[in-house]
Amino acid sequence: MEPRNNTRISEFLLLGFSKDPELQPLIFGLFLSMYLITVFGNLFTILAISLVSQLHTPMYFFLSNLSFVDICFISTTIPKMLQNIQTHSEVISFAGCLTQMFFYLLFGTLDSFLLTVMAYDRLVAICHPLHYMVIMKPQLCGLLILVSWIMTTLHALLHSIMILRLSFCTTLEIPHFFCELHQMLQLACSNTFLNYLVMYFAVGLLGFGPLTGIFYSYLKIISSICRISSTHGKYKAFSTCASHLSVVLLFYSSVIIVNLSSVDTQSSHKSVASSVMYAVVTPMLNPFIYSLRNKDIKRALKKFL
């Protein structure tokens, strides 16, 4: 098979979930519903936090940022997939594919960083409650968000630039519903050793690094909760981080499933299904988890309505 230089590539083909025409309306309706639920659910959370003064705290500042990133995250992949189904086309331009991959990496990694920042916020609130407002000053909160954006943008930009140096074969079919980095590397005809090296290094640094920070935060939180004498005090302390812990478990369990399935190059359908959990289901469930498990959010929503 003759490779051709990537500068001549004009488009890729996103194969999606199924080529069966009878399933296309069902897939379109299902993912359109999930997309709208995600967007309006997270927008409602952002509006409630913005308009209710009692929620103008560091914890809900980080939550509003997480909701915004979740909207951007799902908007990176689903609208293009719905457009392709509606127009009966599998085509995505090379520039569009590269752009989609960039923003997918950016917002996916940013989710991980924000969950780590929120874990640190809960650590300070439970372990140092008297100094909480002194430590979590607006300047520190803004700095944590800014650093997260800078690091994740550089990470996504690095992978995008490294894709540009590759040559691709004549077969440009991506067995996925979006341009995923691992799938694009499999289509390259040139040497991808450096790309994979950077990818696995980034997974270790930007994946396990934040996860380690979250584990450390919760070990300190659990240790602090165990020292509380009253049962009511323990329950009250744990309830303040129950929603965040639920989101962390949902997010990282789906990420681990995606990465394990991507190792098996023969199981593209399994990889696609796992990515749905990570890129679609998790952003959709986040606002419901915070709404159902958080009394402050529920009171704010009632007041807002």
Domains in the chain: ranges and CATH:
6-304 (1.20.1070.10)
Q: Judging by DSSP bridges, how do beta strands 91-93 and 173-174 pair with one another?
A: unpaired
pTM above the 0.75 mark? Answer: yes
Tokens 């968000």 correspond to what residue?
Answer: 145
| Predicted pLDDT at 67 | 94
Looking up tokens 């997010």 gives 251
User: Tell me, what's the pLDDT at 7?
Assistant: 44
Q: Which residues of the chain have pLDDT under 50?
A: 1-7
What's the pLDDT score for residue 242? 81
Radius of gyration of the chain (CA): 21
Bridge partners, residue 12, by sequence: 92
Residue type, 233: G
Q: What is the pLDDT of residue 261?
A: 63
pLDDT at 240: 76
Determine the pLDDT at residue 2: 42
